[in-house]
Chain A
Amino acid sequence: MTVPVHTPGSETARPVTTPSTVDTELVQLLTPEGRRVEHERYAFDGDDESVRSLYRDLLLVRRVDHEAHALQRHGELGLWAQCLGQEAAQVGSGRALRSQDFAFPTYREHGVAWCRGIDPAKLLGLFRGVELGGWDPAETGMALYSIIIGAQTMHATGYAMALQRDGAVGTGDPTRDAAALAYFGDGASSQGDVHEAFVWASSFNAPVVFFCQNNHWAISVPLARQSRTPLVQRAAGYGFGGVRVDGNDVLAVHAVTQAALQRARDGEGPTLVEAVTYRMGAHTTSDDPTRYRDSAEVEAWRHRDPLARVERYLRELDTPESFFTDLQTEADDLGAHLREACRSLPEPDLGALFDGVYADAHPELAAQKAEYLAYRDSFDTEGGAA
């Protein structure tokens, strides 16, 4: 079903040159059996070497996720939010970003962080309880994880408005034109901030792509409680285009996201991408999905695994076995790195945190810091309370 949508041009925005459409049909370029299929509007623009490179990312991201999950079970992390099953949605979209683009994640986008070149060890500090954020957003082109559901979609929209003001949209210069990519989930689609972000992005024709990973579960609440219609249809009500993609098909996700990002960079405004995927793990390590969902449902999705289909495709191509064994070695090394890095993360110093709340001097907090340090030191001094 293709619904033509009228997109009003704002006074200040560039005129929309391509008609926006909302397509509820699932875009797929690689079947779960590992067979490449054609699509009338989308094509994966890479060669088989690129497919191997994507597979490498998928496998390493799965390893990162697996290691972090195990570290939590060993008591090294307080919590972990697995991205198991969503690797293709994250790697496919993350790899469509250019260095000048900016990603706004939730707390589960470990695969996107990987694509932005963030050492996965930096993801662990938040979950180990030693820090509140681990990387420099400006340096990496990725905002910090957002645990408040949906808040980051407004940040992405504001960032996109700043891109417009900086003359970084629609110039035709591929090294300059940029877009924001906002991640959120099916649960977040019910949040008011996501609605506001859609309104603003449409109104200002902002260069932002709203990338919804519909993983079917918001902790224990199923998709049906969030929406009675495919989420992608919501784009029509806001006046921009939407596309629904097999979120477990890394080639399709990459193609669809790349097209949406290019539209945004070209000044043609926002797009909603609904990547249909499945949260194979628990919501977090504190969750118990056996209380609310059927194992048969999980089993059905196991047959649509995002890695298995790429592996099948690559093996059909007679990819040498050494590719897979080398990759396994690389994954093992990465796992060892993560385990070591996790245990080596420095313990936080409460005293140092007083200095990081404000950019400018803050006498009241300085006084509280002095009070805390004096109290702490009272246990260390000779003849002290200790």
Chain B
Amino acid sequence: MSASTSERTSAVGQRLSLGKAINAGLRAAMEADPKVVVMGEDVGPLGGVFRVTEGLQKDFGEDRVIDTPLGESGIVGAAVGMMLRGYRPVMEIQFDGFVYPAYDQIVSQVAKLHARSQGVVRMPAVIRIPFGGGIGAVEHHSESPEAQFCLTAGLRVVSPSNAHDAYWMIQQAVASDDPVVFMEPKRRYWDAGPVGQESTPLHASQVVRDGRHATLLAYGPMVRTCLESAEAAAEDGVDLEVIDLRTLSPLDLGPVHESVRRTGRAVVVHEASRTLGLGAEIAARVQEECFYSLEAPVLRVTGYDLPYPPSRVEEEFLPDLDRVLDAVDRAMAF
């Protein structure tokens, strides 16, 4: 599954924003395999509304970087046909809230064709979705629909939280013979970080801060929020472990269970609504696996079960440092 080769343009050693790291990863994937095509709305000369595909059409041509008609179902449906001839399409869905017109093609076709064909057909798709709020956008531009894809058998769902992971995970997703829904934390597109050598498999969670008193679990945009919360808690003598889940389907909860057995407390943080969000599944599994180690119930800090609110109140809707630490306080006091 490794996407590394020496001949390719490499971003290793550079300091990149998360968005530019995905761009560099896509470039490397396209250089590695002529069957990789990028398709979506405005991905050509504009480089995508977030500029993630910037420069790709100029370098790889209009046949490999396809500015599509405006229709998300069409993007995914056309990709299915291309995959039947061995292509590896990387689709850009412009915003999270725009993915629903493509929902049928994703869950009924992309997710199921491998099983329906007794394993003969492969669907090596990558569906990139900038997701989450915090950028002051109008409605349908700030949603977190990841759980809806996690509950569909046949899909894989991942979310990078930093430039290094973004660079490698997009290449690993392209190399995957299964369809990958690639959730990009749009409010972190401009967060810069170093890109190192490939180190972690696509479907592995990772401890990003060691701690003793409680475990924070997050992915995508909330990893930074949790790291900042842990910094603040440390000033009060509370030592928080932070795990970047990275892979949402399948989940990789081995490191989570190991951590919670040590800390006895877990708080799951995500922007998506609470009911049947990733936190619900994680809480269920942690209590199944770590029942005798738990000092407190697994708590959730999430968006509320509302339509995403008007942006002037999104700061109150989204989990932030204070809400995370409030949950930590409750867990510690239990």
Give A residues with C-beta under 8 Å from B. 11-12, 102, 104, 131-133, 136-138, 143-144, 148, 151, 153-166, 180, 192-193, 196-197, 199-200, 203, 353, 355-360, 362-365
Determine whether the beta carbon of B154 is less than 8 Å from that of A159: no
- Tell me the bound Cα distance from A91 to B158 in angstroms: 45
Contact A131 B82 (CB under 8 A): no
Chain A nearest CB from B91 CB (Å) reads 11
A143 and B122 CA atoms in complex are apart in Å by: 13
Decide: B117 and A363 in contact? CB cutoff 8 A. Answer: no
Closest 3 CB pairs of A and B: A158-B81, A154-B77, A158-B78
- Note all chain B residues with C-beta closer than 8 A to A360: 1, 176-178
Instruction: Report chain A residues within 8 Å CB of B84.
Output: 102, 137-138, 143, 155, 158-159, 162
Flag B68-100 by CB within 8 Å of A: 1 or 0 each: 110101101111111111110000000000000
Bound Cα distance from A180 to B1, whole angstroms: 32
Contact A196–B250 (Cβ < 8 Å): no
A155 adjacent to B62 (CB under 8 Å): no
| B108 adjacent to A151 (CB under 8 Å) | yes
Residues of B within 8 A of A154 (CB): 73-74, 76-78, 80-81, 105
21 CB < 8 A contacts A-B:
A132-B117, A133-B116, A133-B117, A137-B84, A151-B105, A151-B109, A154-B73, A154-B77, A158-B77, A161-B78, A162-B84, A164-B63, A165-B87, A196-B71, A196-B74, A200-B71, A355-B119, A358-B178, A359-B114, A360-B176, A363-B250
Cα distance A364–B76 when bound, in Å? Answer: 26
Taking beta carbons and an 8 Å cutoff, which residues of B are in contact with A?
Answer: 1, 37, 62-63, 66, 68-69, 71, 73-74, 76-87, 101, 104-105, 108-109, 112-122, 124, 153-154, 156, 176-178, 203, 250-252
Q: Please pick, from A158, A165, A192, A356, the residue contacting B115 in the complex, using a CB distance under 8 A.
A: A356
Q: In the complex, what residues of A have CB within 8 A of residue B101's CB?
A: 192
| A162-B74 contact, Cβ under 8 Å, with A358-B114, A360-B1 | no
B117 touches A203 (CB 8 A): no
Q: Which of A11, A132, A159, A200 contacts B116 (CB 8 A)?
A: A132
Q: In the complex, which of the residues B62, B87, B104 contacts A162, with contact meaning CB atoms closer than 8 Å?
A: B87
- Shortest distance from the beta carbon of A115 to any chain B beta carbon, whole Å: 19
- Which residues of the partner chain A approach B109 to less than 8 Å between Cβ atoms? 148, 151, 155
Whole-angstrom CA separation of A352 from B276 in the bound complex: 29
CB of A358 within 8 A of CB of B154, answer yes
Give B303 Cβ to nearest chain A Cβ, in Å.
25
Among A158, A166, A200, A363, max chain B CB count under 10 A is at A158
Contact of B177 among A156, A160, A164, A359 (CB under 8 A): A359
State which of B68, B76, B108, B122 has its C-beta within 8 Å of the C-beta of A359.
B122
A221 to B85, CA, bound (A): 36
Chain A: CB-nearest residue to B154: A357
Residues on B with C-beta less than 8 A from A160 are: 81
Give me 11 other A-B pairs in contact (C-beta within 8 A), A158-B79, A359-B114 excluded.
A104-B81, A136-B117, A144-B121, A154-B80, A156-B81, A158-B84, A165-B37, A192-B101, A200-B68, A359-B178, A363-B203
Whether B178 lies near A159 (C-beta < 8 A) is no
Q: Which residues of B contact A165 (CB under 8 A)?
A: 37, 63, 87
- With CB as the reference atom, state the residue of chain A lying closest to B64: A165
